[in-house]
Amino acid sequence: MVNTVQYVQSNQIVELMRQPTEQRDATWLREAVQQAILLELATLPPYLCGMWSIDPPGGNNQVSRTLRTIIFDEMSHLGIACNLLTTIGGTPRLTGETLVPAYPGPLPGGVRPDLKVFLSGLTKDSVRMYACIEEPDDPVTLRASAAYTSIGAFYTAILDALRAAPNLITGHRQVERNMAHHGSGNTLERLETLGDVESAIAVIKEQGEGTSASPQNPHPGAQGELAHYYAFQEIWHGKKLKLTQQPGQPDKWEFTGAAVPWPDTLPMGVVPQGGWPRTGPDAPAPEVTAFLDEFNRAYSDMLGLLEQAWQQDLPDPAADLLQDAVDKMRALRSPARELMKIALPDGSGRNYGPEFRYVAP
């Protein structure tokens, strides 16, 4: 069934960023980091739909490898943000019909208000959307700076507030997980000092946006790995990003390198507002409804396990709950791909796909 309770859109990040620096106290920080958690969560469903639509799945496809790497990074960023909230005395909230991001819609908190995030298979439009999510304030491949609040700018504001009040960092309820095999910055570590927090926020920002001087990811899983924004741009342009250096001239990055072949995909359509219709002329067959409900239930259970992991006072139960959540996420792939193989009844030539809708227990 589709939720009758609707996700509530807000401009809370915009409002938080408008508050004067001297008013960014402990309450401001806890609200801000909770919004950061929802931002990290919001990126995962569209990226997963793109990766799962690649057919055949996995293998040695360059685009599939790139998406898999970015998704692992984003999962790590979600965990880092949860550790950041608990270390300053907060408790992550990841469940609830009015809280969990719904699609299509804007990013949580009013970041990039011009951008509508949607769920579909891998297309030129979806890849452009992925890049817009990760876009830095001042990309090295563009001439002009962005005129809106980016995710990176929001994290900078959080870090500045913590630098002004490092005593808020307690090391409370930290969840640890060794994920070094996914990249040098992806391991979930305890955030007990300002230095720990600075390093963790740098990982989130630089893996997504790169640095002001380079598009390369300073925390890579493989040599030469690009930050997410530029990796998505390579997929969209169909060309590798190439550095041109000339004496007396600034470095110039352009998409003029080797080809990045577009993969074959399952033609998942764009999930409509409120999810796929359950009644009327476009109502799905019972087996489709079963897949949709199975997926939404498993996704919701996964979010509940993640929420519980950061409520534990002891490390072992927290680690067990996190592992259970990871197992749940891996299990989402099968019903998602089954849906992507079933044609929509509207004759569009597109197929179903997962809705990523939260359903209460």
Average pLDDT rounded to a whole number, residues 27-43 = 95
Query: In the numeric block, which tokens belong to residue 263?
Result: 């993969």
Q: How far is CA 249 from the centre of its chain?
A: 36
Q: How confident is the model at residue 12 (pLDDT cuts 50, 70, 90)?
A: confident
Least confident of 33-37, 217-221, 341-345, 349-353: 217-221
* Residue 219 CB coordination number (10 Å): 18
Q: How confident is the model at residue 116 (pLDDT cuts 50, 70, 90)?
A: very high
Rounded CA-CA distance 91/311 in Å is 7
Helix axes 228-237, 124-134, angle to 10 degrees: 160
Rounded CA-CA distance 230/140 in Å is 9
Rounded CA-CA distance 44/124 in Å is 18
Give the pLDDT confidence score for residue 213 in this predicted structure: 59
Average pLDDT rounded to a whole number, residues 63-73 = 93
**What's the mean pLDDT when you consider all of the chain?**
89
Q: How confident is the model at residue 275 (pLDDT cuts 50, 70, 90)?
A: very high
Rounded CA-CA distance 99/306 in Å is 15
Q: How confident is the model at residue 71 (pLDDT cuts 50, 70, 90)?
A: very high
Task: Flag whether pLDDT at 262 surpasses 90.
Answer: yes
DSSP for 72-92, written as a single string: HHHHHHHHHHHHHHHHTT---
Task: Flag whether pLDDT at 139 surpasses 70.
Answer: no
Closest by CA position to 122, among listed 274, 1, 235: 235
Give the pLDDT confidence score for residue 146 in this predicted structure: 45
Give the pLDDT confidence score for residue 361 in this predicted structure: 87
Average pLDDT rounded to a whole number, residues 85-104 = 95
Helix (H) or strand (E) holding 253: strand 252-254
Give the pLDDT confidence score for residue 161 in this predicted structure: 95
Task: Flag whether pLDDT at 1 surpasses 70.
Answer: no
Residue range 142-176, pLDDT digits in tens = 443 444 467 888 899 999 999 999 999 999 999 99
Instruction: Pick the more confident residue, 127 or 178.
Output: 127
Give the pLDDT confidence score for residue 10 in this predicted structure: 72
Average pLDDT rounded to a whole number, residues 45-73 = 91
Residue range 291-333, pLDDT digits in tens = 999 999 999 999 999 999 999 999 999 999 999 999 999 999 9
Q: How confident is the model at residue 243 (pLDDT cuts 50, 70, 90)?
A: confident
Say whether domain 12-339 belongs to CATH 3.40.190.100: no
Instruction: Pick the more confident residue, 213 or 304.
Output: 304
Give the pLDDT confidence score for residue 52 in this predicted structure: 97
Average pLDDT rounded to a whole number, residues 222-249 = 86
Helix axes 286-309, 62-87, angle to 10 degrees: 40
Query: In the numeric block, which tokens belong to residue 105?
Result: 């819609």
Q: Are 135 and 146 in contact (CB under 8 A)?
A: yes
Helix (H) or strand (E) holding 114: none
